[in-house]
Amino acid sequence: MNDFSLTRRSLFGCACCGAMVRPRVAIAVPGQDRGYPEALELGTTSMSRIAPTVWVGRIAEGLFLYTTTALIDGGIYYPANGLILERDEDAVLIDTTYGPEQAKTLLAWCARHARPISLAIATHFHNDRTGGIPALRDAGIRTWAHPLTCELARRRGLPVPEPIDAFSGDHHDMGPYLQLYAPGPAHTRDNIVAWLPRQQNLFGGCMIKSTNSPSLGNVADAVLRDWPASVRRVRARYHAAKCVVPGHGAIAGDPIATTLSLLAKA
């Protein structure tokens, strides 16, 4: 496993990637500094760089955090977080990276260092969550999502996951390893969170901002009126979470409190 180097902080501002942003996943030369986040930072400082724009690190038993970066409008590298959740014989990918090459990198890494990925979940329709779907599909791996996510991705011309028709009301139970919850409109109308009961970890996705986020970022598809109530529902439901993973930036501190504070200022 290549370990090119660890995280670097930057003083640039943030702008959470939206559906209208078409990130370009850049190819960097190993040993050079291209590909590092230039807004926010990697999920943790204990991640190994397995490709110029892909990092992975274990954060709990059977659970890996990954961060990918891409060039967004303005020409800065912006990070996005996702998870690799190991089950008995396989692994589930929570969100699919910015693009196919990054998804292929994670597939290859899991085949060597973890359990093989057999399923992916997209937590909303934006490209930083759905961009890797084509590579997963080519590998015979299905990507599931809330039915509204599929509808919105199709409307925007983004990679379209398969709908979870069994999504009952606001939740979908995938067994002892994974539960999905749709708390209501926030960063987007379709955003869901993923609860990992065995690790007591919560993947908040882009509706939850990291403690270093200076603003709410891209709100082009947000429902600002409903966002605070949706976050409070998440907090009430998962108040015992040991770790909350935001969609972008560091997993340290209390991202839910940070999000509510930013919303109050907005």
For residue 57, pLDDT over 80 is answered with yes
Q: State the Cα–Cα distance between residues 98 and 76, nearest whole angstrom.
A: 14
Q: Both ends of the chain: CA-CA distance in Å?
A: 43
Residues 150, 188, 84, CA angle at the centre, nearest 5°? 65
Q: State the Cα–Cα distance between residues 151 and 129, nearest whole angstrom.
A: 14
Residues of the chain by 3-state class (helix, strand, coil), percent to 5: 20, 25, 55
For residue 10, pLDDT over 70 is answered with no
**What pTM was estimated for this model as a whole?**
0.88
Question: Beta-carbon neighbour count of residue 89 at 10 Å?
Answer: 8
Catalytic residue ranges: 124, 126, 128, 187, 206, 209, 218, 248
Q: Model confidence over 106-156: pLDDT tens digits?
A: 999 999 999 999 999 999 999 999 999 999 999 999 999 999 999 999 999
**In the 8-state DSSP scheme, what is residue 166?**
T
Least confident among 7-21, 75-89, 191-205, 233-247 = 7-21
Local confidence band at 91 (pLDDT 50, 70, 90 cut-offs)? very high
Phi, psi dihedral angles at 227 (to 5 degrees): -55, -50
Residue 74: its pLDDT value, please?
A: 77
Q: Per the structure block, which two tokens stand in for 98?
A: 């910015």
- The one-letter code for the residue type at 32 is Q
Domains assigned to the chain: 48-265 (3.60.15.10)
Q: State the Cα–Cα distance between residues 68 and 37, nearest whole angstrom.
A: 9
Mean residue pLDDT across the chain: 89
